[in-house]
A and B are shown apart, each in its own frame.
With several copies, the nearest count.
Chain A
Amino acid sequence: MNKNEYLSIIEGMIFLSGDEGISVKQIGEALELSLQEVMMYVDELIHMYQKKEVKGFEIVNYGGYFKMVTLLKHKQYYQSLFKENVAKLSKSALETLAIVAYYQPITRVQIEEIRGVGCEAMVRKLCAKALIKEVGRSDAPGRPILYGVTDVFMDAFQLTSLDELPKLKEISDDFDEEDIFNTKYKEKNPNED
C-alpha cells in the first residue's frame, strides 16, 4: 500500500468517527502500523488540510482524538441549518472546571478550599455533564473521591493535552515569608481607611 492509500484510508476513518473522533492507537491497530507511522500520516493529513483552498472543515486533535470539525468563520451559515444549541456554562462552573483541570486529581474539599464556597451540587452537576469524573480515591482519612477532567472536557475546551492549558500567572518572586512579615506593620494610609 502506498502513502496516498494510507492517507486516504486514515482520512476516511477520521471522517467516519464523526464527533467521537479516533485515536492514533485505534488507527494503528486497524492498519497494523506503529504509532509513529500513524502520527506521521495524520500530521501529513492535517498539513494537507491546512493548505486546502476549498476547506469546509478541518482536522483537529482534542485530547488525543482526531476529528473533523467545521470552521469557526463559517459558523453563521451552519447555524441556519441547526436549531439554537449553545449550552452556556456559568461562571461558577467554569471556575470549578478550571480548578479541576489545573489541580487534578483533586477532592471536593480541596476544590472548595480554593473556591471558598461549597461545591457539592456543582461537582455533581459537572459529573452529570461528563465534564469531570471520578478518577480514584485519595489516601486521606475517609478516602475521599478524587476528580479529574474527561475527554468530553478536552473537546469542549479545544485542548489537545493539558499542557496546553493557559499558564497560571507566576506568583511574584518576592512572595516569601520574609516579605510578608516585613510588610505587616505598614502604616495605614488615613485617606484609605
Chain B
Amino acid sequence: MEYQVKTEEFTGPLDLLLHLIKEKNMDLLDLDVSIICDQYLAYIETMDPSYLEAMSEYLVMAAWLIEMKSRLLLPKEHLDEEDDYEEKRQEMIRKLIEKNQINEVIQEFEEAYNQRQMMFSKMPTLDQFSSEVEDQLPDNLEVYDLISAMQKILKRKMAQSPLESKVARVEISIAERCEQIETFFSMKKGQLVDFEDLFDEGDRYFAVVTFLSVLVLVKNQKLVITQEENFDRIYLKGKYYE
C-alpha cells in the first residue's frame, strides 16, 4: 500500500478514521475495530514525523485502537471485559457519527462564508445623526463588544480602501482636480453652480487644490465666474456648454 499522507488533510484522528472507513466502504455502524486499527497504523507510519505535536494526537488514537484490538484477541471468558469493549466501541461509533455529521455540513458552511466575502457593504454613516441623551453607562457591556468593534475597524482598513482611497485623494494633483471639476461641469450642462459646492468635501489640502484648480480652469477659459455684487454668492458655469 502506497500512502501519501499529510496531516494537514485531516483536522484530527477522527477525521482520518472517517476517511479510512469511507475508503473501505464500511458502514459506520458496523465499524470493525480490528480492520480499521491496522489501516490506521499503516497510515500513521507514512505521516511526517516532523509535525510531532500534531502526530501525538494521532498516536493517542492509535494506542487506543491497539488496546481495543488486543482486547478482541483475548479469550472471551470474562464477560465484564467483553461489555467494556462493546461500550467503548459504541462510544467510538457515536463520536464518529457526530464528527461525520459535522463534516457533511462543513462544505455548505464554507460556501456561505466564501460567498459572503464577495458581498460588500458600506461603512455605517451614523455619526452625523448621533446625539446623546443620557450620561449613564449601559450595564450590559461585554468584552465581545470591543473585540467585534476592533474586528470591524481592521476589516475596513483592509477591505474598504478603494484604489483611489482617501489617502490617494489627499495627494490629488491640480491637474487631476481640474479634470474632475471639468467632468462635473460638463454634466451640469451650463447650469450655474454655487462655488462653495466644490468645497463640500475633503480637508484643507483638498480645498486649496480645488481653489487653485478653479483658477486654472478660469484662466484656460473652461469656467466662468460670476458674482452680482461684492460679498454676494459666487457662481461658476462651464464655458464649454454655453
Q: Which residues of A contact B (CB under 8 A)?
A: 15-26, 35, 39, 42-43, 57, 60-65, 67-72, 75, 78-92, 94-95, 97-99, 101-102, 113-118, 121-122, 125, 127-131, 133-134, 150-152, 155-159, 164-166, 168-169, 171-172, 174-175, 177, 179-186, 188, 192-193
Contact = CB atoms under 8 A, between A and B. Distances in A.
A181 B150 contact: no
B159 to A, nearest CB: 4
B173 interface: no
A193 B129 contact: no
A156 B146 CA distance: 11
Given A19-B123, A115-B11, A116-B156, 4 more contacts: A86-B118, A90-B130, A156-B137, A168-B102
A39 B99 contact: no
B129 A39 contact: no
Interface in B89-128: 89-90, 93, 95, 97-106, 108-110, 112-127
Contacts of B54: 180-181
Given A17-B124, A116-B166, A101 B146 contact: yes
B138 A168 contact: no
A86 B118 CA distance: 8
Interface in B139-163: 140-163
B134 interface: yes
Contact of B153 (A61, A85, A115): A115
A165 B148 CA distance: 12
User: Top 7 nearest A-B pairs by Cβ distance?
Assistant: A18-B124, A116-B14, A64-B180, A117-B12, A85-B159, A130-B148, A75-B118
